[in-house]
Amino acid sequence: MAKFGTDGIRGRFGDYPITPDAVMKLGFAAGRVLSSSGTKSSVLIGKDTRLSGYVLESALQSGFNAAGVDVYMLGPIPTPAIAHLTRSFHADAGVVISASHNPFSDNGIKFFSSQGAKLSDEVQAAIEQAIDDPFEIHEPEQAGKSFRVDDAKGRYVEFCKSTFPYRSSLKGLKIVIDCANGAGYSVAPRTLKELGATVIAIHNTPNGRNINENCGSTHPESLQAAVLANKADLGMALDGDGDRIQLVDETGALIDGDHMLYILATQGETKATGVVGTLMSNAALELALEQSGIKLVRAKVGDRYVMSELTSRGWMLGGEPSGHILTLDKSTTGDAMIAGLQVLALMVQTGKPLSELCSGLQLMPQTLINVRADKNTLQYAAVSQQIAQIESKLVGQGRLLVRPSGTEPVVRVMVECVDAKRGQELAKSLAEVIERSASS
């Protein structure tokens, strides 16, 4: 049975459950669940720029149609655009074919509800259960139809622009945008240009295999160089499906999700009531927000958990250092372009460069190492002992966080330490123990 992780179902294309037959069954099962009330249902399907998207799109479409569901095909478009358009079309669900920041060989399926939010645990469980049901078509005359939505990109561009102050403009700003050769390759530069900016787009020529390849939010080095070379006011880097963003200021310095949360919470005319971060959020962010009278609450890693915490508290702003930023007064999900536009709006309104807007936050040095290992590796005695030793060494100087990824087969080791070199050494020592244990 295919299981939903923290961000849908994800894996290497060609390996179960990311195979054409499994994805067709997933579409059929989801269609049956959506149509259980007896009414005609409709879904939107969008994708990023991976080659495997063509295959999975056809399989998913066939499964939904076989279950009697009408399908609206959006083509390559950012994940948050699908969330928005699902609401705009009053569809019963939106489906994204993407593996986000993963290599092109991976792909995945994730769902949005009719309200543009992640599916509830109950609906996900119902779909998982239905996958094991027989693939039987009892009423051929009830098959669904499929339609191509030709203006999907334009609709999303206009939505993004609507979140930027109406009487403001980006004229006079030179922006370098790194599209990660992904789903935002077309709409991201277009949005910025239509708001008046001078735009230099890089990594905006996807070929199906170069998504996230040494570019985008996970590899911002070329963006940093481009900002300096072009003497730009700032740079923006998206990930493969356009829901994460990293910024680069005019000096070439990287501005991550913690910086953006700080800017959005403290630099506007109205300060945030509270901010939801994650276990990965830098300790310096918590202290800086506290000085402004703003509380930071940490959720588990994953936008699903950030969203849950925001909803329960009635707050609007939350996110992760990776750049997955939620501004619930503007959008129902994490949206790279909308988060970036809110920072740009503050630059325009205050007349301050990006470096000055976040000057009140000096992050504590963090070292993050991803180790190819199964989560069960953390149960090895050698790993547990090394974790205990490092935690004892960090008392009063920093913290250690070790967690298995919810989207790929890696264990993430994060050490936060006032002494950057010492933090790197401790993180490396634990990563080596985990790697040896995984290969034993």
Residue by residue, DSSP assigns 281-340 as S-HHHHHHHHHTT-EEEEE-SSHHHHHHHHHHHT--EEE-TTS-EEETTT-SS--HHHHH
**Rounded alpha-carbon distances, angstroms, from residue 297 to 277, 300, 313:** 6, 10, 10
Give yes or no for a contact between 246 and 217, defined as CB atoms under 8 angstroms apart.
yes
Compute the residue count for the chain.
440
Check residue 119 and report its DSSP letter: P
Distances (CA, A) of 196 to 161, 232, 268, 349, 372: 11, 15, 22, 15, 44
DSSP H or E segment with residue 398: strand 398-404
The type of residue at 232 is A
Q: Are strands 325-327 and 274-278 parallel, antiparallel or unpaired?
A: unpaired
* Angle at the Cα of 302 from the Cα atoms of 300 and 303, rounded to 5 degrees: 115
* Residue from 41, 52, 100, 186 carrying the catalytic annotation: 100
| Cβ atoms of residues 247 and 260 within 8 Å | yes
Backbone phi, then psi, for 23, in 5-degree steps?
Answer: -70, -35
Helix (H, G, I), strand (E, B) or coil at 101: coil
Q: Indicate if 100 belongs to the active site.
A: yes
Dig out the tokens for 344 from the structure: 């740009």
How far is it, in rounded angstroms, from Cα 66 to Cα 151?
26
Catalytic machinery residues:
100
